[in-house]
Amino acid sequence: MKRSGKDQWRQAFWQQARPFLLAALPVPDLLSRYRVRRLAADLVKCDPWPGMAATGEDAAQLALLRLRRLQHDTRRAVRSRQDEAAVMLARVSIETLITGLYCLYEEDAVARLQAENMRNLPLLLKFLTDAGVIPVNVLDECIRRLDYGQPARGPSVESMARAVDKAIGARAAIDLYDRFYRPSSALNLHGGGLALLRHVREDDHLTRRPSRTWARRSPTRIADACLGALVATLARRASRPSQLADNYTERHFDRALAPMITVSSSGISRLLTPRQILVTILTLRNVFRYARSGQDATEPAVRVSRIRTAMKTLLLAGVPDLPEGALDPFLDYTSELIASETAPQPEEESPPASASVHVATMAPEVPTRSSPEDRSPTG
């Protein structure tokens, strides 16, 4: 059954609004969270720790134990409004999940992680040699006699994520890395320029409280999803597949809003002010109507130009201080995509003239407040 134009508009609007609504709303998952945490505890079988005889499965179970604790700490940080701590804990959860999966899918994962441990050990104890407590050669000889393997640089988080995706044949771990881990490193964990600029407001004045980089509940969503993902993977390998863990992972990951979307939310919020929200809705609706109407179907350049003009007006209302032309590549690509994807098929009939949509209606203007002299005596 063919959808009407109104139904298509509502569906398109819901697809765009859904992530923001899900990110803002709480998830009543007390029972399912308890069951997933209980299953996670049951899957950890490497106690006592086998030491140098540990396998990739053992290391993954250790990662699961850590994720279980990280989930608890992340939720506590979110409840107590410790935004920075919550983001950092969520970032650690992502790294722990990727490490656990890497240990499951790479044969030499444990050996490579152990080599990284041996490389870091003298660096962690370097303060003793700097303080003159012990000579460097004595420290090196003691570490060598531990017989824990040769030091070597281990895999980076990104390389582990790519190895996991190659093993499972899907883009999952690297997507988590790109969407959440990398922005959190630049904006929260490190003290680089992007992190420092969070203390500068849009009006160039300074603020003691840095701008938010994650939606308030997103760290919890990520910590929950990471625990659920490793539980589901280990459960399948133990011949105990858990649909509960799969559903739990998907449910929470779908509700996590990427940091870069949150960072740009100030521009989005301008589009949702009481004065601008009507213009935003009408512009989006009229762009959609025009694109679907088939008007100017024989003149693709005109279609692209009209869609681009309306979108530019809408975007500049949200981000008015961008340099001229900064959005041009995005506007060109998006308007051409919308025009081509909504172009009527040759067998479709053109709509009657009465159904045409004029350019003027695609970007409606908000009436300005009239001055006292312009008002009539009767109000």
Name which residue leads in pLDDT, 328 or 12.
328
What would the pLDDT profile of 280-315 be if each residue is shown by its tens digit? Answer: 667 777 777 777 777 777 788 888 888 888 877 777
Give the pLDDT of residue 204. 86
What would the pLDDT profile of 343-362 be if each residue is shown by its tens digit? Answer: 666 554 555 544 444 443 44
Average pLDDT over residues 92-109: 96
Residue appearing with tokens 């990662």: 63
pLDDT over threshold 70, residue 334: yes
Average pLDDT over residues 204-233: 93
Give the pLDDT of residue 362. 44
Query: What's the CA gap between 259 and 215, in Å, rounded?
Result: 7
Query: What's the CA gap between 224 and 248, in Å, rounded?
Result: 8
Give the pLDDT of residue 236. 96
Give the pLDDT of residue 308. 83
Give the pLDDT of residue 317. 65
User: pLDDT-based confidence at 9, cuts 50/70/90?
Assistant: low
116, 154 contact by CB (below 8 A)? yes
CA angle 47, 52, 58 (to 5 degrees): 40
Give the pLDDT of residue 10. 59
Give the pLDDT of residue 321. 63
For every residue of 218-269, DSSP letters joined together read: HHHHHHHHHHHHHHHHHHHHTT---HHHHHHHHHHHTTPPPHHHHHTHHHHH
Query: What's the CA gap between 232 and 235, in Å, rounded?
Result: 5
99, 163 contact by CB (below 8 A)? no
What would the pLDDT profile of 163-201 be if each residue is shown by its tens digit? Answer: 999 999 999 999 999 999 999 999 999 999 999 999 998
Over the range 82-114, which residues count as b (16 or more CB within 10 Å of their CB) and which as e? ebebbbbbbbbbbbbbbbbbbbbbbeebbbbbb
Query: What's the CA gap between 80 and 141, in Å, rounded?
Result: 47
Which amino acid, one-letter code, is at 138?
V
Query: Coil, strand, or helix at residue 321?
Result: coil
User: pLDDT-based confidence at 324, cuts 50/70/90?
Assistant: confident
Mean pLDDT of the chain: 82
37 DSSP 8-state letter: H
pLDDT over threshold 60, residue 108: yes
User: pLDDT-based confidence at 337, cuts 50/70/90?
Assistant: confident
Give the pLDDT of residue 361. 41
Name which residue leads in pLDDT, 69 or 366.
69
Give the pLDDT of residue 290. 79
Average pLDDT over residues 93-117: 96
**Model confidence, pTM:** 0.74
Query: What's the CA gap between 320 and 333, in Å, rounded?
Result: 20
Give the pLDDT of residue 57. 96
Give the pLDDT of residue 298. 77
User: pLDDT-based confidence at 326, cuts 50/70/90?
Assistant: confident
Query: Coil, strand, or helix at residue 25?
Result: coil
